[in-house]
Amino acid sequence: MAKNALILGGNGDIGKSISAKFRLNGFEVKQVGRRDFDLGNNQEITKFFNKNHKEYDVLIHCAAVNIPKRFIDISFEDLSYSVNVNVLGFLNVTKVLLKGWIKNNYGRVLVISSLYGTTSRIDRLPYTLSKHALNGVVKNLAIELSGNGVLVNSISPGYVDTKMTSSNNTEDQIKKIEQLIPLQRLGMPDDIAEIAYFLCSAKNTYINGQNIVVDGGFSIGGFYSGLI
């Protein structure tokens, strides 16, 4: 059964946790980050795979850039780079691995999306744009690739205790966010890794094209706590 996984953004907090979970279950895992190639640069992607011809049964896209800026201050370069890294780079890698999935009639693709794939927040236009696009990409790929034994899904984490969360929010903001989550805490990278492993394992045979929200209950109404 499939035992090779490629983790884009594998050196981030969530990526590391997912990689560790897969290794514990016998997978050979390749974690890639900016030092391997820039997802925003198609030439670097091509160069990497020209040197690395290995087939991967599982592809997990954890890589992302988040550029918090007001719309008035956003440049075209900000928007372009966010879309290139968060969406188009992932599609380029998917295209490379597709031949192996078709040959083996098996593949698992998982995108780490975000609550900003269905909602938004001030100063988050580039990130929101890319995550909304990713959620649409997942649905389309799930339809097109399922005939080749490939299941495609996404996870939308809420607020997770990562370096990105702490760098984009002040301590006071994080405390307020925790109060709005019914479980009264940020998620942990391991919370995401558990779901990621199931969706990409051989145990998942019928979940396809779905976005699984893992946010401690924030999006189902926890945010209304601030109005009470």
pLDDT, tens only, 12-58:
999 999 999 999 999 999 999 999 999 999 999 999 999 988 999 99
Lookup result for tokens 């209950």: 217
pLDDT, tens only, 214-225:
999 999 886 666
At 68 the pLDDT is: 86
Other CB atoms closer than 10 Å to residue 103's CB: what's the count? 10
At 19 the pLDDT is: 98
What pTM value is reported for the model?
A: 0.93
User: 108 to each of 40, 91, 97, how far by Cα in Å?
Assistant: 23, 14, 11
199 has pLDDT over 80: yes
Q: Spell out the domain ranges in the chain.
A: 4-227
Other CB atoms closer than 10 Å to residue 39's CB: what's the count? 27
CATH code: domain 4-227 is 3.40.50.720
pLDDT, tens only, 159-177:
999 988 888 889 999 999 9
* Nearest-angstrom CA–CA distance, 58 and 100: 11
Lookup result for tokens 């006071």: 172
Query: Quick one: three-class SS letters along the chain?
Result: CCCEEEEECCCCHHHHHHHHHHHHCCCEEEEECCCCCCCCCHHHHHHHHHHCCCCCCEEEECCCCCCCECHHHCCHHHHHHHHHHHHHHHHHHHHHHHHHHHHHCCEEEEEECCHHHCCCCCCEHHHHHHHHHHHHHHHHHHHHHHHHCEEEEEEEECCECCHHHHHHCCHHHHHHHHHHCCCCCCECHHHHHHHHHHHHCCCCCCCCCCEEEECCCHHHCHHHHHHC
* Nearest-angstrom CA–CA distance, 13 and 10: 8
User: 33 to each of 13, 135, 190, how far by Cα in Å?
Assistant: 12, 22, 19
